[in-house]
Amino acid sequence: MNTIKTSISIPNQVFQEAKDLSDNFSSLVTEALEEYIRKKKIDRAISSFGKLEERRKSSTAIVDGIRTDEGRDYTDRTD
């Protein structure tokens, strides 16, 4: 996985608690962001079901996108 270096501003107390819980702050932030992104994708997919408005993707494509996780494609069921 390619990485980038970036700066963020967070409250000092949050930073200190995070450092107390993990020796690797970057890994902790990465894990938290991955979980946040996963939840947002699920929320977006759930909120789109049952709506009649035009979508850029079909419901099947949205679900297939959710099922694809960390490079594993769960939608290919040919085996």
- pLDDT tens figures, 36-46: 999 999 888 88
Which amino acid is present at 79?
D
Q: What is the pTM of this model?
A: 0.56
Q: What is the mean pLDDT of the chain?
A: 81
- pLDDT tens figures, 26-64: 999 999 999 999 999 988 888 877 665 566 777 777 777
Q: Which two tokens stand for residue 30?
A: 């990465």
Residue that has been written with the tokens 């694809």 in this structure:
68
Among 6-10, 48-52, 64-68, 73-77, the range with the most confident prediction by mean pLDDT is: 6-10
Better-scored residue on pLDDT, 59 or 20: 20
